[in-house]
Amino acid sequence: MADLSNTQIFPPRDLIGYGGQPPAIRWPGNRAVAVSFVVNFEEGAEYTVSGGDDHNEAIYEVVHRLEGRDPCIESHFEYGTRAAWWRVMDLFDRYDAKTTVSACGLAVQRSPLLAQDAVQRGHEVSAHGWRWESHADLDETEERARIAKTVQAIQAATGQPPRGWHTRSASSPNTRRLLVEAGNFLYDSDAYNDDLPYFVPVAGKRHLVLPYAFDTNDMQFQNTQRFGTGGAFAAYVIDAYDWLAREGSSAPRMLSIGLHLRMIGRPGRIGALETILTHIAGSGKAWIATREQIARHWLAQQPDQGFNAAK
């Protein structure tokens, strides 16, 4: 039987959203789709026995669970920071496409060079938790501390606090309230339920949600083996973009494309990102933007005198 003990502490579900009547907002340049590339920077924040954890991360290229230290999985994650970062970021530079680097605080603390490089290239560095972990079972005190540590690590490395937040998998009932309490966040991406940003009330304020997506996401190379080749991934993402571009001729649309260094950054997959960028950038219908840029545009188009946005 399902555990229903915590159902009352979450806000009621909204199954309707905009109800087929999205706000009359246009993206800059009257583009049809706001495209958000999210590069997840988790390497160094995954669970490892060598780092003092009681287990190792389970999602990677092979399935061979070890109870003790696992140098195989450690080196798998290291590929993201040693080799893939530079390949991925150089490709984005070729298209002058700005991304959101969704970074775990511990990953930034261990490899600050990458966060600094992101800022130098004009990308956003947002927060992806302290560790690559769910917040579902964290108590309020521990979660508040982890949010604060994440903000501090990113600010120490880049000179500026993160404006966005995304929890791996499930957040807790307290996450949004704690983000609003922290004061520096413009948005969170702890939702997968729309193709547009939307507002929710949190602690008496209007809080912005920029939904994320798991389908247009290279995690499916490993999480489900849904994509066997880079070409299959590129075709799926392009299909999603083309459909949203059709709809975006009359109403705003947003597409999130999730990437991971150790996945898309492999030589056999990076061509998929090049194919996607060529198609989207060449369509003339996309505004490729960071999530902070998208959030600020949405907020500017829907001002609310009662909303105290982070500056």
pLDDT digits (tens, 9 = 90+) for 162-183: 999 999 888 999 999 999 999 9
User: If you write DSSP's letter for every residue of 96-125 in order, what string do you get?
Assistant: T---EEEE-HHHHHH-HHHHHHHHHTT-EE
Global pTM value: 0.91
Q: Which of 229, 298, 224 is nearest to 268 (CA)?
A: 229
Strands 253-260 and 33-41: what pairing?
A: parallel
Strands 205-209 and 198-202: what pairing?
A: antiparallel
Partners of 152 in the β-ladder? none
Partners of 288 in the β-ladder? 35
- φ/ψ of 101, rounded to 5, equals -90, 105
Rounded to an integer, what distance in angstroms lies between the CA atom of residue 107 and that of residue 258? 18
pLDDT digits (tens, 9 = 90+) for 200-259: 999 889 999 999 999 999 988 877 778 889 999 999 999 999 999 999 999 999 999 999
